[in-house]
Amino acid sequence: MNSLQHTKQLGQSIWLDNLSRTLIREGGLQKLIAEDGVSGVTSNPAIFFNAISKSPYYRNDVARMKAAKTPAEPLYESLVIPDIQAACDLMRAEYDRTQGRDGYVSLEVSPALAHDAAGTLAAGLRLKGAVQRKNLLIKVPATPAGLIAIEELIAQGCSVNVTLMFSLAHVNGVAQAYLRGLQRLIDGGGDPCAVKSVASLFLSRVDTLVDKQLDARGGDALQLRGKAGVALAKLAYRDYQTTFKSGVFAKFATHGAMPQCMLWASTGTKNPAYSDVLYVESLIGAETINTVPDATLDAFRDHGKAGATLENGMAEAQAHFNALTRAGIDMHQVGETLQREGVVLFEQAFDQLLKLLD
């Protein structure tokens, strides 16, 4: 049993943060499912830019649709929706085995809609209708407008992956949007058993920004570097337990609703001074997901150690946050800054993708 398989036995799902026709058609994704227990896929415009620009399996379709003068965004969707459907089909056995708790594939709405609640809602429902797979997650950012759309999507029975979360405020705001949506779904006679939501907390980007601020302060503050992302995840899991493992969620659970699972994202280590499996080894716990890029997945399989680590050091995580506050680091503001930057980066990646197809 390798470390990836052991992690699954400990209750954490490992998802792949990548998708392409090469992975699908040459059997790479199926191999990861069969040999490593990979049980989900996340995608985004940057991933699809890389796939479409490098994989030979898109060329004929791109040429044909460009010749037909298909506009760039519809062309993009016509390319990626079959990929999403194929990945959903590969994950369907896991979805069925876990009765809808695992085995999902994520497709992101246009990042240009990050501040447009109505546009996000319409796009999410349209993409759900186009893909026609039960194990699809519509990916929506945790912006203020995104929270409005998330609640409405859940209320209409649409499963959602919430992205671009960088703070405890984001975690708790997203959880409340999910609960409001569930309540409306139940009140309207809908079936909450068919709705899945995951809350994607980005980690390595947090350390990158916090480390930069600590470097500027110097002195004793330097001892705090490289620990904010893991501490944030542990405290977010504590909040998850408070919300979804207590009486707060009991009335929803009686209707068959599933908790909104925490998903660790941005788990490829950016600082070469830190372990290349830092955001995997430190955060293994039940009912959580870690979506990993190929290099991190390979590294963890090769030399990662699987153990139930997530609930260890909760007091230390809080103490670390307190120490950051004393050092003048405002973690709420860090989260807001990173979310704004994340929206811009996603928009830029999407624009780059559309230019490729124009």
Contact 100, 132 (CB under 8 A): no
Across 193-204, b (16+ Cβ under 10 Å) vs e yields eebbbbbbbbbb
Q: Is the pLDDT of residue 313 over 90?
A: yes
139, 196, 227, 234: the active-site residue: 139
- Of 30, 343, 313, the closest CA to residue 164 belongs to 343
3-357 CATH, one of 3.40.50.300, 1.10.3720.10, 3.20.20.70, 2.40.10.340: 3.20.20.70
Domain segments of the chain as ranges: 3-357
Q: Rounded to the nearest 5°, which phi and psi values hold at 40?
A: -175, 170
Burial class (CB in 10 A: 0-12, 13-18, 19+), 189: exposed
User: Average of pLDDT values for 123-141?
Assistant: 98
Count, residues in the chain: 358
- Of 177, 182, 176, the closest CA to residue 194 belongs to 182
Handedness of CA 7, 193, 174, 179 (dihedral sign): negative
Tokens 């503050």 found at: 221
**188-192, 245-249, 332-336 — which is least confidently predicted?**
245-249
Q: Is the pLDDT of residue 92 over 90?
A: yes
User: Residue 219: which pLDDT band, with cuts at 50, 70 and 90?
Assistant: very high
Q: How many other β-carbons are positioned within 10 Å of the β-carbon of residue 129?
A: 9
Contact 208, 143 (CB under 8 A): no
Which pairing describes strands 12-16 and 261-265: parallel, antiparallel, or unpaired?
Answer: unpaired
Q: Is the pLDDT of residue 248 over 90?
A: no
Percentage of the chain beyond pLDDT 90 is: 99
| Number of helical (H) and strand (E) elements in the chain, helices listed first | 16, 8
Q: Is the pLDDT of residue 246 over 90?
A: no
Which DSSP string corresponds to 173-201?
HHHHHHHHHHHHHHHTT--GGG--EEEEE
Contacts of 136 (CB under 8 A, 6+ apart): 84, 88, 104, 105, 106, 107, 127, 128, 159
Q: Is the pLDDT of residue 247 over 90?
A: no
- Residue 55 is predicted with a pLDDT of 94
Is 355 among the catalytic positions? Answer: no
Q: Is the pLDDT of residue 201 over 90?
A: yes
Contact 349, 342 (CB under 8 A): no
Q: Is the pLDDT of residue 117 over 90?
A: yes
Q: What's the distance, CA 62 to chain centroid?
A: 28
C-alpha 312/C-alpha 285 separation (Å) is: 10
Q: Is the pLDDT of residue 224 over 90?
A: yes
